[in-house]
Chain A
């Protein structure tokens, strides 16, 4: 079971004088339980692409198949929206209910579940984002801090119990601790609930840390698709597209450019440190430790 996107094209403002090609011939498959990172410069089409996954946008050519169902053949998209959850940027801006319970319950209620089921879903969803049901359920979402509000908004999508979750820059404008916590929750969600995650992000370090696979988009096309180690190694190409690479990768790249023999695919701080150690000091067994 997966989301299959085949040769998708989409044109903005079709029929108006402002028509522009947003997506061109995109093909992609998101497997059940996978963790996918989706990167690309602003305007490369990432948001447009993910909005096709839950039927918010319709392709102008090509097709989208979710768990075997072609979206263009479906009359009601409600089921797809349940299965494929989409969390937009700054999701805290969509809160509107009087209590956290009612807001998080909006999705489950729209599915027609019983009150008891809705409450259970709300409780579980809040737990998944690290909020205590009893502490927040009856409070107004607007009383909470910014970080908490964002988590409530995400819980609102998780309460639909989606199989695939797309998160568009979930760490946007969070401080380092907020970012860490958010990524921890996303990782736990992926690991414990088996949810497939598509993480749209500009932060290469977080994508490198969490993703099994990275998709790179450029001007409406998918141009790279591979493991983080493979994709981030082509520093020159990524830089030419105006993208960053993880800091560790950039360090290795610079060293390679200076002629040092360091391998590719180095993503973590520890790996970097041990590689550099061998360049600066002869080895574990004594000798002149320290710089030359």
Chain B
């Protein structure tokens, strides 16, 4: 029972029973997309403030701890800081401070702030989506959204099946990677020292067995699926059928109209 890679939370889903969690994944996809597009359309700080309010409200309704939301910014912290810095330093305008050849302008600060806040809002809007919707639910939502396009050749079911199987096997493969790494280390493999090239080559004893193992699994799994009468998406029913309810339409309509209002006005 190795508790290393495989315990990493996948896609940062935070389980809870909030009203946001219970919304159909399609409405959440729609809401997130609307927010993201809308955020790009506003040019004034007031507009961003409006979006910030919407996102805060949703975070509260979703019962997601603030810490989780902020943590999602961490991987992109450098980008956020750089965005502010680049804008503050290189926007022409009225100088506010100046060190050597580096000048900070007032317009620069305003612009930097705007860009940074916009970036933060984009990240938190997407995080809210992944925090309240499990990868499986997202897959279902995407499948249902793409289903009508099957007639024009979009392989919605196959895509969903691939995603499901991938999600199912990621923790298993991570565990196997761990084991393989240890087994190779036990016979002298060194993944840590040497030049970049050397270190890249040292991954061969890890990657080759993993790939071969993955293909073997795929083979076995295909046979097992056939034995259970799997023959593609035609005629399949589902255990869980996601349904858009009254709340979904209400929430989507509310958010979309707010977004349009903010985008147009600001």
Contact flag (A, B; Cβ within 8 A): yes
Chain A interface (Cβ < 8 Å from any Cβ of B) = 12-13, 16, 18, 20, 43, 51, 54, 56, 78, 81-82, 85-88, 91, 93-96, 106-107, 109-111, 142, 156-157, 160
We find that the number of chain B residues with CB closer than 8 angstroms to chain A is 23
- Report whether B3 and A110 are in contact in the complex, using a CB–CB cutoff of 8 Å: no
- The stretch from B20-28, B157-165, B177-185 touching chain A is B177-185
Nearest A residue to B185 via CB reads A56
The contact sample of 25 A-B pairs, CB cut-off 8 A, is A12-B2, A12-B3, A13-B7, A20-B3, A43-B1, A54-B186, A78-B188, A85-B186, A85-B187, A86-B183, A87-B186, A88-B183, A93-B179, A93-B209, A93-B213, A94-B180, A94-B205, A95-B209, A106-B187, A106-B189, A107-B187, A107-B188, A109-B188, A110-B190, A160-B188
Residues of B with C-beta under 8 A to A111: 188
Contact pick for B209, options A13, A82, A86, A96, CB 8 Å: A96
Interface residues of B: mostly helix, strand, loop or mixed? helix
In the complex, the answer to whether A91 meets B182 with C-beta atoms within 8 Å is no
Q: Mark B199-216, 1 if CB is under 8 A from A, else 0.
A: 000001100110011000
Quick one: closest B residue to A106, CB to CB? B187
Q: Say how far A96's CB is from chain B's closest CB, in angstroms.
A: 4
Known: A94-B209, A96-B204. A110 touches B188 (CB 8 A): yes
The reply to whether B209 and A110 contact each other, CB–CB distance below 8 Å, is no
Apart from A78-B190, A96-B204, list 17 A-B contacts with CB within 8 A. Answer: A12-B1, A12-B2, A16-B3, A51-B182, A85-B187, A88-B182, A88-B183, A93-B176, A93-B180, A93-B183, A94-B183, A96-B209, A96-B212, A106-B188, A110-B190, A142-B212, A156-B187
Q: Within the assembled complex, what's the spacing in Å between the Cα atoms of A93 and B184? A: 11
B24 to chain A, nearest CB (A): 31
Chain B, 27-44, contact with A by CB distance < 8 Å: what is the 0/1 string? 000000000000000000
* Bound Cα distance A4, B183 (Å): 22
With CB as the reference atom, state the residue of chain A lying closest to B4. A13
Interface residues of B, Cβ cutoff 8 Å to A: 1-4, 7, 176, 179-180, 182-190, 204-205, 208-209, 212-213
Question: Inside 8 A of A56's CB, which chain B residues have their CB?
Answer: 182, 185-186
B182 in contact with A110 (CB, 8 Å): no
Question: Which among A13, A95, A109, A157 is the interface contact of B186 at CB below 8 angstroms?
Answer: A157
Inter-subunit contact B205/A96 (CB<8 Å): yes
CA distance A107 to B213 in the complex (A): 21
B212 and A110 contacting across the interface, CB-CB below 8 Å: no
A20: B residues at CB distance < 8 A: 3
Establish whether residues B7 and A16, one from each chain, have CB atoms under 8 Å apart when the complex forms.
yes
Chain B residues positioned under 8 Å from A160 (CB to CB): 187-188
The closest CB in chain A to the CB of B211 belongs to A96
Instruction: Please report the C-alpha to C-alpha distance between residue A93 and residue B214 in the assembled complex, in whole angstroms.
Output: 11
Docked complex Cα distance between A20 and B1 (Å): 10
Residues of A within 8 A of B183 (CB): 86, 88, 91, 93-94
Give the CA-CA distance A91 to B205 in the complex, in Å: 13
A13, closest chain B residue (CB): B3
The minimal Cβ–Cβ distance linking B83 to chain A, given in whole angstroms, is: 32
A88 vs B3: C-alpha distance when bound (angstroms): 18
Report Cα–Cα, A1/B257, bound state, in Å. 78
- Of chain B, the residue at the smallest CB distance from A89 is B179
* Cβ-defined contact, B212 with A81, below 8 A: no
**How far is B187's CA from A85's CA once the two chains are assembled, in angstroms?**
7
